[in-house]
Amino acid sequence: MGLQAYLTLAAVVFCIGLFGVMTRRNTIGILLGIELMLNSVNINLVAFARYSGDVTGMVFTLFTICITVAEAAVGLALVILLFRVRRTVTADHLDLLKG
Amino acid sequence: MMAGDGTLALAALLLHATAFLVLAIAAPLRRLGRPAAYVSILCAAGSLAAAVLSWRAHTGEAISRLVWTWLPSEGQTLATVGVLADADSTVMLTLVALVALLVQVYSLGYLSDERAPSLGRYYAYQSLFAFSMMGLVLAPNFVQLFICWELVGLCSYLLIGFWYERPAAARAALKAFWITKTGDVGLLIGIVLIWRHTGTFDLTEMRVLAGNGAIPLAGLSVMTFCIYLGAVGKSAQFPLHIWLPDAMEGPTPVSALIHAATMVTAGVYLLHRTDWLFALTPDVLAIVVWVGAFTALLSAVLACVQNDIKRVLAYSTISQLSYMMAAIGAGFSGAGFLHLLTHGVFKALLFLGAGAIIHAVHSNDLPDMGRLARRMPQTAIVFTVGALSLAGLPLFAGFLSKEEILGAVLAGGFAAPFAMLVLVAFLTAFYMFRVVFLAFFAAPPAGHAGAAAASGAPHVADASHHASHGAAAHEPHEPPSSMLLPLWVLALLSVATGVFFTVVHPEPEFESPAWLMPVGVGSAVAGILLAWATYQRRAIDAASLAAAFGPIYRGALARFWIDAVFERAYRLALLGFSRLVGWIDRYLVDGVLNVLSAWTVQAGDDLRTMQTGRVQDYVYGIAVGLLVLLLWVQFN
Amino acid sequence: MSADVLAFWFLAIVLVGSALAVVLTKNLFHAVLWLALALTGTAGVFLLLDAEFLAAVQLLLYAGGIVTIVVFAIVVTERLVGERLSQTSRRIGGGAVVAGGVLALLLNAMRGQPFPAARPEMAGDLTRLIGETVLTRFVLPFELLAVLMLAALMGAIYFARPDE
């Protein structure tokens, strides 16, 4: 299998994640979509690193995973806080920035 | 002492500048009042001495130039600054220095009740005024001349509006400034055009060019006419004469200064100074003659109906200036210049004498006076000397110069202006002796008990000013010696020059018929006799005399509606322009902005609905943006 | 068809299928479980790419850590709201078009590019290489990462703490 196969797979997963972010009503569902997109990026990084013989990409993947976990933890904490204040889970109801 | 090199003339000029600078910078000294006046008078006296010495050194053809380069431009000098001393400029300088000194001495008495700070301010202005006029007189080129010309205008504004708390004075000052400024625009344009035409500002160089016939004649008429416009404004020629009578709002010594030596004489002097230039454009000279003769007649008629003594003198000044203009226009500027000098002496005398009367009577109005000769014999004598000089009787200062002007206009071939000027000579004698008889000899009209301190609310400038301090009615009395001394000096000078010219009687540079002198003197005597019969003997009723000239009398009372026309035109133009500007501002400038802001608000109102506040709509936007970016990258 | 190719296709089908299930399933709890499967599939892909260490990290952090946190969040919020969280979607058509368009254009961009088909031999053990690189060349980012994790931990606790 060549590099292109991995990249294609990553692109497909990325677009599925994007679709989820755009369509999910639940904030937790949106976060799940974001996780999928980040994962596809990780796949890309590792594939490029392996096919170019440079280990730097993999180190970056390590960092990405750590940051993703931190982001997920903070994001979910925010969701809990939001639930507590606004009593809603639906992203459409969170429109304080409406013009 | 090298008197012949212009140093003395420069010293005369700089002494006044020194006085002004000292008073302007040393504010504590200025606020002391009288010490400031002494400084100024001391400098003026020194200046007079220097001017006289300089005059004696520059008789005949002697010319000295003392110039420094100024305004360097592309390797050559664009303009110079300095003095050009010759026979004409030094004698004028002497006149200016003399009148300035006498007026300053006189003001000590006249303004003795002025508060100290404003007295200091007055003397600072006086010094600046004299300096500006001297700079103008001695100017070696048009640039310095114009700068001093404007300074003179500024000083006249400051001094006419000296009592600036009074609205009438402030308005008169503004009027004088604006109307002379109208002429000054013409002068500036003329100077620049001349410079483009000849390539120099320098009077001497230009004169050499004119003598060689090196100045092209094409278009020169426009330039000399523009220069003449400046003289029209400054020397109060029709139609810009209307500022001068209003300038009476200033203190009387200021009027004397403006009328005799500085300010109004500047225009005549300018034309005399550049007569070789005007000689190249006879068509403009013809305009000068006709305007001069017309203005002389107009203002003489106006002077006959004035009740305010200072206004009579103001109109007589316009009339006499027009005499000079007529002579210059006829091509004999020497005659006009001679009259300028003699007129300077006796007009200063008349104004200072009028100031003495006002000082005593606390009124400007002739009906408030009468039989003053008993109480103020000295003033009566000197004022009568001045009136005789103005009328142009033999043995008095105005005699020869007035006759020369009449001869010059006749020799120039202007018959109709000559007739007008003879009529003016008659009218001049009439209105001057109307003043003399009404003020000094005739009994005051019923209801006016001699002194006007009792006459309710005096409404005229000096009168109200003086009445403010001495409310108690008191007998008119002779003025203090600081005021009498200048009067006697001027009176003696008037008689001395008159006797000198009557006895010596220098031959004029033109042929004049033998009947000229009897006509001139005769018309003057006739005027005096008419005034005597009307106002002293009351053999002729003044009211029926006025009725005989019905329309003219009524027109003259309304100043021939010239002021009204000017005011109307001024308002019309100004208000019309203001309305136009207002309309443009309101509907064009503001309109564009209002439309733009309305569009902005509307666009913002429409666009804000894009901001739903929902996170996913923004993600949509990002995704669509990514899509468009990819499309653009791949298919462009 | 070699074992590698077979494994790739298997993992690709699992990954894509579970990803689709994450974004399409109605039950939020099920979606989380599908996500766990997708993350595990990703770990498999890492294994295919010889990155055993990363696969282990992926399993530990994601499949273990994140999924646990998410489940915990769901449980807490459900208890707060007092009803079952249903997972519905909005604008499915528009989202599909946009996402599909992006995918098509990405694939179009990749088409015809000279991507290498063969893998170069790595110099030694990859795990060892990663370890050495992290602790030499990237030691500063690595330490900063530790600070970041700590900050995120404290922030999350601060946000989610109960009202006083």
Give the CATH number of the domain where residue C74 resides. Answer: 1.20.120.1200
Domain-located, residue C21: yes
Interface mutation vs chain A, best among C13, C15, C26, C144, most A CBs within 10 Å:
C15
Check CB contact of A1 with chain C, cutoff 8 Å: yes
With CB atoms and an 8 Å threshold, state whether B620 touches C106.
Answer: no
| Structure confidence by residue, pLDDT tens digits, C77-110 | 766 555 565 666 777 888 889 899 999 998 888 8
How many angstroms separate the CA atoms of B586 and B598, rounded?
16
| pLDDT tier for residue B274 given thresholds of 50, 70 and 90 | confident
Q: What is the pLDDT of residue C16?
A: 94
Same domain, C139 and C77: no
CB B424 within 8 A of CB B296: yes
Q: What is the pLDDT of residue B160?
A: 86
Backbone angles phi, psi at B77, to 5 degrees: -90, 130
Minimum distance, in Å, between the CA of residue C100 and any CA atom of chain B: 10
The percent of chain B in helix, strand and coil, each rounded to the nearest 5, is: 75, 5, 20
The answer for residues whose C-beta is within 8 angstroms of residue B67's C-beta and 6 or more apart is B80, B81, B82, B83, B84, B140
Q: Considering C92, C107, C138, which residue would you say is the last residue of a domain?
A: C92
With CB atoms and an 8 Å threshold, state whether A9 touches C15.
Answer: yes
Domain-located, residue C107: no
Average pLDDT of chain B to the nearest whole number = 81
Q: How many pairs of residues across A and C have Cβ atoms under 8 Å apart?
A: 240
Same domain, C88 and C153: no
Check CB contact of B619 with chain C, cutoff 8 Å: no
Q: How many pairs of residues across A and B have Cβ atoms under 8 Å apart?
A: 36
What's the number of domains chain C is made of? 2
Check CB contact of B616 with chain C, cutoff 8 Å: yes
Domain-located, residue C31: yes
Mean pLDDT of B257-266: 81
Q: What is the ipTM of this complex?
A: 0.88
Q: Cβ contacts (< 8 Å) between B619 and chain A: which residues?
A: 21-22
Q: Give how far Cα B248 sits from Cα of B92, B177, B547, Å.
A: 24, 14, 28
Check CB contact of C148 with chain B, cutoff 8 Å: no
- Whether the per-residue pLDDT at B452 is higher than 50: the answer is no
Same domain, C87 and C154: no
- Whether the per-residue pLDDT at B498 is higher than 50: the answer is yes
Residue A21: closest CA among chain B residues belongs to which residue? B616
Residue ranges making up the domain that contains C33: 1-92
Q: What is the pLDDT of residue C1?
A: 58
| Structure confidence by residue, pLDDT tens digits, B81-111 | 888 888 888 888 888 888 888 888 888 888 8
Mean pLDDT of B163-168: 84
Q: What is the pLDDT of residue B473?
A: 46
Determine the residue type at B300: A
Domain-located, residue C69: yes
With CB atoms and an 8 Å threshold, state whether C98 touches B630.
Answer: no
Q: Give how far Cα B544 sits from Cα of B8, B304, B442, B523, B540, Å.
A: 57, 14, 18, 22, 8
| Structure confidence by residue, pLDDT tens digits, A1-45 | 788 899 999 999 999 999 999 888 888 888 889 989 999 999 999
Q: What is the pLDDT of residue B292?
A: 87
H or E element that contains C24: helix C3-24
| Structure confidence by residue, pLDDT tens digits, B365-377 | 777 777 777 778 8
Same domain, C84 and C137: no
Same domain, C78 and C159: no
- Whether the per-residue pLDDT at B346 is higher than 60: the answer is yes
Q: Cβ contacts (< 8 Å) between A87 and chain C: which residues?
A: 80-81
With CB atoms and an 8 Å threshold, state whether B616 touches A98.
Answer: no
Lowest pLDDT segment from A64-68, B411-415, B467-471: B467-471
How many angstroms separate the CA atoms of B6 and B58, rounded?
9
Q: Which residues of A43-62 are buried (b: 16+ CB within 10 A; e: fewer)?
A: bbbbbbbbbeeebebbbbbb
Check CB contact of B620 with chain A, cutoff 8 Å: yes
Q: What is the pLDDT of residue B155?
A: 87
Same domain, C86 and C128: no
| Structure confidence by residue, pLDDT tens digits, C105-156 | 988 888 878 888 888 877 778 888 888 888 999 999 999 999 998 998 888 8
Interface mutation vs chain A, best among C26, C29, C48, C49, most A CBs within 10 Å:
C49
Interface mutation vs chain A, best among C91, C115, C132, C136, most A CBs within 10 Å:
C115
Q: Considering C71, C92, C113, which residue would you say is the last residue of a domain?
A: C92
Residue C94: closest CA among chain B residues belongs to which residue? B620
Residue B467 falls in which region: left (phi positive, over 0), alpha (psi -120 to 50) or beta: alpha
Q: How many CA atoms lie within 13 A of A34 on its CB side?
A: 19
Residue C23: closest CA among chain A residues belongs to which residue? A20
Q: What is the pLDDT of residue C41?
A: 92
Tell which residue, B333, B221, B315, has the closest CA to residue B275.
B333
Q: Give how far Cα B598 sits from Cα of B585, B601, B607, B610, Å.
A: 18, 5, 14, 19
Q: C: neighbours with 3+ CB pairs under 8 Å? A: A, B
Max CA-CA distance within chain C?
63
Q: Cβ contacts (< 8 Å) between B622 and chain C: which residues?
A: none
Mean pLDDT of B118-142: 88
Total H helices, total E strands in chain A:
3, 0
Q: What is the pLDDT of residue B475?
A: 67
Domain-located, residue C111: no
Residue B206, SS3 per DSSP: helix
How many angstroms separate the CA atoms of B516 and B498, rounded?
18
| Structure confidence by residue, pLDDT tens digits, B4-22 | 567 888 888 888 888 888 8
Residue B2, SS3 per DSSP: coil
Mean pLDDT of B477-482: 78
Check CB contact of B599 with chain C, cutoff 8 Å: no
Determine the residue type at C69: I
- Whether the per-residue pLDDT at B606 is higher than 90: the answer is no
Cis peptide upstream of residue B117 (ω within 30 degrees of 0): no
Domain-located, residue C3: yes
Determine the residue type at B467: A
Q: What is the pLDDT of residue B4?
A: 55
Considering only residues B471 and B300, tell me which one the structure prediction assigns the higher pLDDT: B300
Check CB contact of C96 with chain B, cutoff 8 Å: no
Q: Tokens representing B172?
A: 């008169």
Residues 505-564 of chain B with CB under 8 A from chain C are: none
Residues 32-91 of chain C with CB under 8 A from chain B are: 90-91
With CB atoms and an 8 Å threshold, state whether B616 touches A96.
Answer: no
Q: How many CB atoms lie within 10 A of CB B588?
A: 10
Same domain, C5 and C64: yes
Q: What is the pLDDT of residue B2?
A: 44
Domain-located, residue C73: yes
Considering only residues B534 and B586, tell me which one the structure prediction assigns the higher pLDDT: B586
- Whether the per-residue pLDDT at C33 is higher than 60: the answer is yes
Place of tokens 């700079």: B135
Minimum distance, in Å, between the CA of residue A29 and any CA atom of chain B: 12
H or E element that contains B287: helix B282-304
Domains and CATH numbers, chain A: 3-89 (1.10.287.3510)
Domain-located, residue C159: yes
With CB atoms and an 8 Å threshold, state whether A18 touches B620.
Answer: no
Q: Tokens representing C106?
A: 């990405």
Check CB contact of A38 with chain C, cutoff 8 Å: no
Check CB contact of B584 with chain A, cutoff 8 Å: no
Tell which residue, A3, A60, A69, A8, has the closest CA to residue C54.
A60
**% of chain B surpassing 90 pLDDT:** 3
Same domain, C22 and C72: yes
Same domain, C88 and C127: no
Q: A: neighbours with 3+ CB pairs under 8 Å? A: B, C
CB B17 within 8 A of CB B46: no
| pLDDT tier for residue B381 given thresholds of 50, 70 and 90 | confident
**% of chain B surpassing 70 pLDDT:** 88
How many angstroms separate the CA atoms of A39 and A17, rounded?
9
Same domain, C138 and C87: no
Q: What is the pLDDT of residue B458?
A: 40
- Whether the per-residue pLDDT at B424 is higher than 90: the answer is no
Mean pLDDT of B250-261: 82
Check CB contact of B606 with chain A, cutoff 8 Å: no
Paired residues of C86 in beta bridges:
C27
Same domain, C51 and C128: no
Check CB contact of A67 with chain C, cutoff 8 Å: yes
Determine the residue type at B7: T
